[in-house]
């Protein structure tokens, strides 16, 4: 696993919600609100409901920190952040493997803060040996995926590029998608490789570096912005949300 980090002065974030529930008269009372995207902010499609965007803005304007924490790749998180008006702050992508600072003044609207990546070849070889029909996607940050077969529209964010096996594992990546019937049987063998497999449906597993989750990334952000452990709130609906909710 490799990690790249940047030194970023945390922007001052503003957040919204009922003042009685989330007092914000000092930094000590600011709350970090972590929000999953799919199934939480979005039920279907890619458009954030107006009532949801308004609620997020009310939380921010009360002085709190809203952080998107998603299994999506960064290229899928950024459009949602823009719809929510999150023009300053932090986002967690790829189940915690990627953390970015977002801001209007930044090139492309974001700057990578932390990237955890790993050698994906053993993962792909193991999956192919057990399930020859497995579909594979290897994330390229800020762009999309190298894939062995194209995923149907709406299943992955960003662009797709067909690649041979050597091209799939040519460089370390923050996340690999494995898709096949029976993919759940590979959870323990994958863990034995020292990676983190996270099921995202009956035929889908996201694989990220070891000991990573939305929670581990959010903890680093919490420490960076100085919010106390007791002033945190997380909302999500999936298996990959359980640790951050806990």
The pLDDT score that the predictor gives to residue 28 is 53
**Is this prediction's pTM over 0.75?**
yes
Q: Express each pLDDT in 7-34 by its tens digit.
A: 333 333 223 333 333 333 344 579 999 9
Sheet strand arrangement including 2-5: 2-5, 110-117, 98-103, 88-93, 65-69, 32-35, 232-235
The pLDDT score that the predictor gives to residue 195 is 97
Cβ pair 226, 27 in contact under 8 A: yes
The pLDDT score that the predictor gives to residue 186 is 98
Kindly list the structural domains of the chain, giving each domain's residue range(s) and its CATH number in brackets, ordered by start.
Answer: 2-116+212-245 (3.40.50.1000), 119-208 (3.30.1240.10)
The pLDDT score that the predictor gives to residue 103 is 87
Q: How far apart are alpha carbons 9 and 7 in whole angstroms?
A: 7
User: Length of the chain in residues, anyone?
Assistant: 246
The pLDDT score that the predictor gives to residue 47 is 87
Cα 65 to Cα 90, 113, 137, distances in angstroms: 9, 17, 32
Q: What is the pLDDT along the chain (246 residues), one digit of tens a residue?
A: 444 433 333 333 223 333 333 333 344 579 999 999 999 999 876 789 999 999 999 999 999 999 999 999 999 999 999 999 998 999 999 999 999 999 877 888 899 999 999 999 999 999 999 999 999 999 999 999 999 999 999 899 999 999 999 999 999 999 999 999 999 999 999 999 999 999 998 999 999 999 999 999 999 999 999 999 999 999 999 999 999 999
């Amino acid at each position: 696993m490799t990690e790249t980090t940047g030194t970023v002065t945390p922007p001052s974030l503003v957040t919204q919600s009922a003042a009685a529930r989330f007092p914000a008269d000092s930094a000590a009372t600011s709350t970090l609100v972590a929000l999953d995207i799919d199934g939480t902010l979005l039920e279907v499609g890619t458009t954030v409901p107006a009532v949801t965007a308004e609620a997020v803005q009310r939380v921010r304007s009360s002085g709190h920190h809203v952080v998107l924490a998603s299994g999506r790749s960064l290229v899928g998180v950024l459009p949602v952040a823009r719809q929510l008006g999150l023009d300053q702050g932090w986002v967690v992508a790829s189940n915690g493997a990627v953390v970015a600072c977002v801001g209007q003044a930044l090139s492309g609207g974001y700057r990578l803060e932390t990237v955890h990546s790993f050698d994906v070849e053993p993962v792909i070889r193991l999956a192919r040996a057990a399930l020859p029909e497995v579909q594979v996607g290897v994330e390229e940050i800020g762009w999309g995926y190298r894939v062995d077969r194209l995923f149907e529209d709406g299943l992955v964010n960003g662009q797709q590029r067909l690649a041979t096996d050597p091209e799939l594992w040519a460089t370390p990546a923050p996340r690999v998608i494995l898709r096949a019937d029976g993919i759940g049987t590979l959870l323990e063998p994958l863990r034995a490789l020292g990676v983190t497999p996270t099921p995202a449906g009956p035929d889908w597993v996201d694989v990220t570096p070891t000991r990573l989750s939305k929670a581990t990334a959010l903890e680093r952000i919490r420490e960076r912005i100085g919010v106390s452990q007791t002033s945190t709130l997380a909302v999500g609906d999936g298996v990959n949300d359980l640790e951050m909710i806990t």
